[in-house]
Structure 1
Amino acid sequence: MKTNFSKLALIAAIGLAAAGTSYAHEDYSEARIDHWLRHVSESQSAPTANQLAPFGYAATKNADREVSLPSGGKYLNVTRLETLKLNVDGKSVVWTFDTLGTAAFPLSTIVPGADGITVYVRENPAYQGG
């Protein structure tokens, strides 16, 4: 008798759990990306300044490496999401290159006076599919 009651209770619990999750979303006709975009657009929180920065942001953590660029330098190769301590003409900045979709840009956009130096950003291998 106890085993029958236990089985019935287990079946009822599973049934209630399945029924509860079926009401979690009312409209299944929308495409997946449309669903995600709708929820993101309805989000109450605004993106942070770091999320909106197209070339990355000044970092508060330790640098992964330190780079000193000589005067007359022409380029700097970085990996997306890499944090560098940059030394250019006596100026120093610690910068995280959070630059999704940005392939190259002038270093002078983040370090004033670093004219003529182009930053080339390659994708971080840890985030590449494959």
Structure 2
Amino acid sequence: MKSTVFSVACASVLLFGTANALAGEQYSEPSGTQVGVLIEVAASAAQERQLARYGYTSLAKAERSITIDGQTRHINVVRMETIAIRVGEKTVTWTFDTLGTASFPLSKIIPGTDQVTVYVDENPMYRGGR
């Protein structure tokens, strides 16, 4: 029994000692090349956020649904609202995360909707108040 406990203790020391040594290598100072890659990744992420200035597709449950047809000229949304937009046979669920954007063509997010303008109202939850 004592030899089994001793064997398990030795194996644990070897296992955790090796894991710690490997972890130490993982967190060493980045080289010049690694720093360059990190800067590129950060710049790419910033560019993606700029491209998403109209919001993004969402898997969240839509708060409401809007159908776009040939007669639709505009839609009114609220910033941070998630809406299911139906165009023909296709539906897109979109969250309008549009800080600083008051209106834009719907075609920026859904091709073939050139005639429709999206008007974005500020969400009352984010308005400053007294």
TM class by shorter chain equals: 0.5 to 0.7
Shift of 1:89: 2.3
**Quick check: 1:50–1:56 contact (8 Å CA) kept in 2?**
no
- Counterparts in 2 of 1:89-128, with a 5 A limit? 89-128=88-127
TM-score, normalised with respect to structure 1 = 0.61
* 2:117 partner letter: T
Gaps of 5+ in 1: 1-43
CA distance in 2, matches of 1:128, 1:63: 22
Gaps of 5+ in 2: 1-38
CA distance in 1, matches of 2:86, 2:115: 15
Percent pairwise identity: 47
Query: CA separation of 1:93/1:50 partners in 2, compared to 1, >3 Å: closer, same or farther?
Result: farther
Worse overlay, 107-116 or 44-53? 44-53
* 2:119 partner letter: Y
CA distance in 2, matches of 1:89, 1:66: 13
Shift of 1:49: 7.1
Tell whether 2:84 aligns with 1:85: yes
- How many residues in Structure 1 have an aligned counterpart in Structure 2? 87
Shift of 1:72: 2.5
Aligned to 2:58: 59
RMSD: 1.9
TM-score, normalised with respect to structure 2 = 0.61
Alpha-carbon displacement from aligned partner over 1:69-119 (angstroms, at most 9, x marks no partner):
222310000000000000012221000000000000000111111120000
